[in-house]
Every structure is written in C-alpha cells, then in structure tokens.
C-alpha cells in the first residue's frame, strides 16, 4: 500500500458519528466523535494544575456535560452547545448524559485511562523506537 501524502490525510473524512435515540427528550441526537484538538481540550479541562505547574487533581465538575457538549451536533455537523453553554446540558437527566457520553467516548477513542493519563495518575509506558525527527 502506498504512503499517504499530507493532502490525502487532510482530505480524509475520518470522524465517526452516530444518531442516538433519546426517548426522554422525544427524538434522536447526533453524536460526532471529537477531533484530536477537541479531545485534548476536553482532557485538559478535567485537570487542575497546581501552583507548582503540576497536575494536582481531576476536576469532575460537569464532566458528562462537557464531553457530550463537545460531541452533540446538528444535521450540519455544527456543535449544538458551546463550551459556555454546557451548564444547561449538565442540568439534564444524568442517565441520558451517561449513555450519550459512552457513545461520545467510543467514537472519540476516549477511555477512562486517557483521563488518568492526562491527570498524571498513571505511569508512563515505554514507547517503541521511532525514526521520526
């Protein structure tokens, strides 16, 4: 198989999405997996940095709403909730948010270990040899 060029990589439509029924809300919602940038921002929002510049704790305030808010999109694939609007989403049924968060995590390649890693709560794993510079 031939190596991809930068243009081919940039042109690839690789973000996964899924329409999810939410009977509690009376319809379906569209959940779009996060981009790498959005995923990093979400993970960063969960970590409280201390005065020493090191991670001190994980901030779980509105964690489900933050995650779901980054992934709920309309038919045009534009976010329904901005980062400033997630508090309203956080007031919705927690069981619904939990179900949607599970879909968002799966589509975004996010798992609980990733949050622990972002908070510095797990040991680094040795990486293999790399030829990149």
Domain segments of the chain as ranges = 16-119
Look up the CATH number of domain 16-119: 3.30.2220.20
Contact 81, 89 (CB under 8 A): yes
- Strands (DSSP E) contained in 16-117 are 17-22, 27-32, 47-49, 55-58, 72-73
Q: What pTM, to 2 d.p., does this model score?
A: 0.76
Q: What is the mean pLDDT of each run of 10 residues along the chain (133 residues)?
A: 94 95 98 94 86 82 92 97 94 97 95 55 43 46
CB burial of residue 17 (10 Å; 0-12, 13-18, 19+): middle
């Amino acid at each position: 198989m031939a190596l991809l060029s930068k243009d081919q990589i940039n042109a690839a439509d690789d973000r996964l999405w899924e329409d999810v029924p939410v009977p509690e809300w009376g319809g379906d919602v569209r959940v779009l997996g996060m981009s790498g940038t959005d995923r990093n921002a979400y993970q960063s929002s969960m970590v409280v940095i201390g005065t020493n510049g090191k991670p001190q704790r994980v901030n779980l305030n509105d964690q489900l709403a933050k995650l779901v808010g980054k992934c709920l999109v309309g038919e045009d694939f534009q976010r329904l909730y901005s980062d400033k609007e997630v508090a309203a989403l956080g007031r919705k049924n927690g069981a619904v948010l939990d179900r949607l968060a599970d879909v968002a995590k799966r589509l975004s390649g996010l798992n609980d270990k990733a949050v622990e890693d972002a908070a510095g709560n797990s040991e680094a794993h040795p990486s293999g040899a790399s030829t990149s510079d």
